Structure 1
Amino acid sequence: MDTAPNASVDPPIPTNGILQDSKGWDGKLRVDRKAVITNAEILSDPEYSDEDAPPVEQIVADEDLLEDYEPDSDDIDLVHCRISSIPALHLERFNNVQKLCLRQNQISHVELPSNLGPTLHEIDLYDNLISHIKGLEGLIHLSNLDLSFNKIKHIKNVDHLKELRDIYFVQNKIQKIEGLDGLAKLRNLELAANRIREIENLDTLTGLEELWLGKNKITELKNISHLGNLKILSIQSNRLTKISGLSALTNLEELYISHNALTEISGLERNTNLRVLDISNNQITHLANLESQNHLEELWASSNLIISFEEVERELADKKELNTVYFEMNPLQLKNPTLYRNKIRLALPRIQQIDAST
């Protein structure tokens, strides 16, 4: 329908050079832009990575790092070679590899050819960029696995490796001990420098001989009484306030419990096979409760609050196997550093080493 010649129509009003009608509309449709984040955890974790994301495209190396290796080589060692892609190494040409060391590289995904499965016993991926444990499915004879100094948050996909004897997960981002069920042959478990708050899920690891949990956030020694074969326990730099839960560990030979919040020595009455006891950097005021430690060889007690030479003699003079003691940075050393060593020698004439000096 045509508009009448004399109809009144508001002309556009120019504003800053832009034509607008009487209501200020310039004729453009505007929609509010709102970003939708599907993985909100990205905002709180700068190193977030999606476990199911496809691998980043790798640039093929312009040289063959393995050209000098014979086809029947059993030990391949490529440390600090800037490797980012395992497939680029073409390991399928080697049929007798027993030990593979790829330390200090830039590997983010473990991708191994299937022909390594029947022969590979050790794989060392220390200090790389690995976030998720994958690619170990066919390594049925693997006995030693080192994934220390990576970016791993969860222990997964290793419980099928029934021949494992040594696992190293040092300096990762692991918050929970898990995924180790059924590894009956495991002898050494290294979980130091992670974010673990509780000792748990070790029920099936009855053959374990060494457990390393230093530099975590553990507040209580528990859930380890079934580890009757344990010989070494390292629980340094945690948040312990007392020694407890060790009475069933009668085979324990070395206990490292420095850098905690202990105020006394206790709970070791049944650990009669202890050879090394490290209680340094705590708040212990008295040497006590060591009567049953007749096999003690080394006592590390630096940086505590011990003040009495008489107490040192009373508690340790009968330890016939004791050869090394550390008492530096205690009041008994700080108050009289000149006479300190001579007094220790008089109290413990069998001692061969005092602090760092023999």
Structure 2
Amino acid sequence: MPVVIPEEDLSTGNGRHVGRPSSPASSEPESDREQLEPDEDLLSDIPSDVEDIDLVQFRIQSIPALGLSRFTKLQNLCLRENLITVIEGLNSIGPHLHDLDLYDNRLNHISGLGPEEGEGVWINLESLDLSFNKIRRIRHVAQLKNLRNLFFVQNKISKIENLGGLTNLVNLELGGNRIREIENLDGLPALTQLWLGKNKITRLDQLGGLRNLKILSIQANRIVKLENLEQLTGLEELYISHNGIEVIEGLEHNVNLKILDITSNKISHLQNLSSLSMLEELWASNNLLQSFEELEHELKGIESLETVYFEGNPLQLRDPKTYRNKVRLALGTGLKQIDASIITESQSMIR
């Protein structure tokens, strides 16, 4: 039975057109899902000059069936949480698109974006989201020369490849895949954010070419050593929790770090942090830290430090009642937050 959408449900009144289905496509068994007839046009009553179209959770299987060719000013197309298996039928609107969102569909390969679609077809595309699909290889995206944001979260990708030429890319998200090695990133000189959490990476390596990198997230991997970060002098945020690191080291050149997350590792000594003079937040919960003296020696001289997390360490578990006071006395009055608790003004006056 075709899905019937009242006209008023398609428009938000502010230029964006949003579908409101009865239930999420991803929450029902496949046999129970109501599917669109191939010739159904959900957008028949929508003006052809709209710039934004959102069709989320509509069980859409075919992009060509949407009849998008008449939307000559379309800039942002969101087809999240549908049943699309192939990227096709976008050639006519490709030159205008800035943002294409195909998050949570059934894509197992990338097609319809390649050079065979025509020179300059995707010249304005800045953001492409292919997260939560079944894609195994990164292909047919290198020609998207103006791409700034590329999302491949939660696919089946085992290798970083075929990204050379994306010289304007600033944000690359590859979390939740099967990647074992950091590689083939030298062709991304503008990259400022790299997200690699929840993969199978064993070593920090081949990052030296990313001189503009400001955020590196590599949580929940298999890393045992902090290394090869000395060339990332502009790095501001490092998230490396849930790994197997035993020693804090190799950060002497990362003097612009503002946030360091080393939660849930195997670190027993707080050391080699005193050079991080711009550090604002240190997340170090669930390690093996025992010494308040080390804490004071490494961190008290960092005037910018405002937030620390040490819960789950022996120094907190040994005497939970006095732990917060000891941390506050060790680090001084500039501290604003210990774990999840904000330090009040009256507490900060206690010496």
TM-score (norm 1): 0.82
Q: How does 1:21-100 map to 2 (within 5 A)?
A: 60=37, 64-100=41-77
Of 200, 212, 215, 1:217 maps to: 200
Match of 1:141 in 2: 124
Of 149, 168, 173, 1:166 maps to: 149
Give distance in 2, aligned partners of 1:113 and 1:182: 22
Deviations 1:229-275 (A, max 9, x none): 00001111111111000001100000001000000100000000000
Give the total of aligned pairs. Answer: 301
1:303 aligns with 2:286: yes
Unaligned runs of 5+ in 2: 1-34, 115-120, 343-351
Give distance in 1, aligned partners of 2:336 and 2:89: 51
Shift of the alpha carbon at 1:91? 0.7
Is the contact made by 2:40 and 2:65 (CA closer than 8 Å) also made in structure 1? no
Give distance in 1, aligned partners of 2:42 and 2:296: 61
Of 332, 337, 342, 1:353 maps to: 337
Shift of the alpha carbon at 1:68? 4.6
Give distance in 1, aligned partners of 2:314 and 2:51: 55
SS at match of 1:311: helix
Moved >6 Å (runs of 4+): none
Is the contact made by 2:274 and 2:301 (CA closer than 8 Å) also made in structure 1? no
Shift of the alpha carbon at 1:345? 1.4
Is the contact made by 2:286 and 2:313 (CA closer than 8 Å) also made in structure 1? yes
Highest CA radius of gyration, 1 or 2?
1
1:337 aligns with 2:320: yes
Shift of the alpha carbon at 1:350? 1.4
Of 312, 317, 338, 2:295 maps to: 312
Deviations 1:309-353 (A, max 9, x none): 121111111111111100010011111111111111111221111
Deviations 1:138-188 (A, max 9, x none): 322211000000000000011111111110000000000001111111111
Deviations 1:202-252 (A, max 9, x none): 121111111111111111111111111000011111111110000011000
Give distance in 2, aligned partners of 1:95 and 1:60: 25
Match of 1:114 in 2: 91
Match of 2:105 in 1: 128
Match of 2:275 in 1: 292
1:281 aligns with 2:281: no
1:199 aligns with 2:146: no
Unaligned runs of 5+ in 1: 1-57
Is the contact made by 2:131 and 2:154 (CA closer than 8 Å) also made in structure 1? yes
Give distance in 2, aligned partners of 1:313 and 1:223: 34
Give distance in 2, aligned partners of 1:153 and 1:290: 39
Moved more, 208-217 or 59-68: 59-68
**Identity level (%):** 60
Give distance in 2, aligned partners of 1:140 and 1:350: 49
1:327 aligns with 2:310: yes
SS at match of 1:233: strand
Give distance in 2, aligned partners of 1:102 and 1:205: 28
Moved more, 310-319 or 152-161: 310-319
